[in-house]
Every structure is written in structure tokens, then in C-alpha cells.
Amino acid sequence: MEISTADLYDERGDELASVSLQFQDLGGHVGFTGPIRTVRCLEDNGIIKSLLNSPGEGAVLVVDGAGSLNTALMGDLIAGAAVENGWAGVVINGAIRDRAAVAKLPLGVKALGSNPRKSAKDSVGEVDVPVEFGGVTFRPGAVLYADEDGILVEP
């Protein structure tokens, strides 16, 4: 589904929250939308891997990695699992790796940047809790809209 966040904001205005943090478009799909699932973790992608290897049913995984660019929270194998399991996209307040391979996948991916360094795999973090970054609180079940212009979230 092709959505223009600018047009959507013009229609609905302040009933949508606009994420001020500037993300890079790193996936094969620039525009994506879906209900939110969340993860809060720091330099550990064990929970992310587990979730993206489970049925996504068109959801968008929003990961609050505290803005850390020290390690990648997702690479091509985990992103490939997201595609196989029906996730619409992933938004990471942190880094990914394997960006050339991720860019070829039919998945929306927004992240702050990339780093080839692997993260820990201890599954330390929280799932489906409200997370906040870029001036927006992301709540599980709310709908996220993303394209080249940015990210909008239903509160």
C-alpha cells in the first residue's frame, strides 16, 4: 500500500505524532505501515531475532536501542527472517549491518546508520512496552506509517 505521510498529516494533523529523529531508509521498501510491536534493548539483539523469526502478520517492529551505534541490532539474516514471517518493517533507534543485502529485501527498514560489529545475543531487554524516541511514544498496537518523508504514529 502506497502511503504519503505528508498527505496523511495534511488530512489528520495533530491526531498523528511525527517522529523528529532523522532515520536512514535502509530496506528495499521505503514506504510501509502496520501495527506496532516494540522492543527495548541495548546492544543485544537476541529478543529482536526471536520476534522477527515469529509470525509478524504485517506488523512493524519498533526497536529502542537507545540510539547506540556501537553494535548492529539487525543484519541480513534477521531481516530475511522478518520477510519470511510477514513483517512489514523495522524501525531501529540504533544501527544495522549488511546494509547492501538488507536494501535488496522487500522490507521497510529505518535505522540511524550501520556498523559491522555484532551485538550480544543474551536476549536482555523488554518486549511490547511503550518506548519513546524522536519526541514520540510508540505503543504496541498503535499504527505506524513510514515513507521517505519520515514516520507518523497514531497515539
> How confident is the model over 43-54, as a mean pLDDT?
98
Q: What global pTM score does this model have?
A: 0.97
CA distance 19 to 1: 21
The total domain count for the chain is: 1
Alpha-carbon gap, residue 124 to 69, rounded angstroms:
17
Q: Tell me, what CATH number does 83's domain have?
A: 3.50.30.40
Q: Is 77 annotated as ligand-binding?
A: yes
Domain region containing 87: 5-154
Cell of 136: 514520540
Q: What is the pLDDT of residues 79-96, one digit of tens each?
A: 999 999 999 999 999 999
Q: Is 6 a residue whose pLDDT tops 90?
A: yes
Question: Which is higher by pLDDT, 155 or 66?
Answer: 66
Is 73 flagged in the annotation as binding? no
98 annotated ligand-binding residue: yes
State yes or no: pLDDT of 155 exceeds 90: no
b/e code 37-71 from CB counts within 10 Å (16+ = b): bbbbbbbbbbbbbebbeeebeebbbbbbbeebeeb
pLDDT at 3 exceeding the cut of 90 = no
40 annotated to bind ligand: no
pLDDT band at 1 (very low <50, low <70, confident <90, very high): low
Residue-wise pLDDT tens digits, 108-120: 999 999 999 999 9
Q: Cα–Cα–Cα angle for 142, 30, 146, nearest 5°? A: 25
- In 3D, which of 98, 109, 96 has the Cα closest to residue 32? 109
Q: Does residue 75 have a known ligand-binding role?
A: yes
76 annotated as belonging to a binding site for a ligand: yes
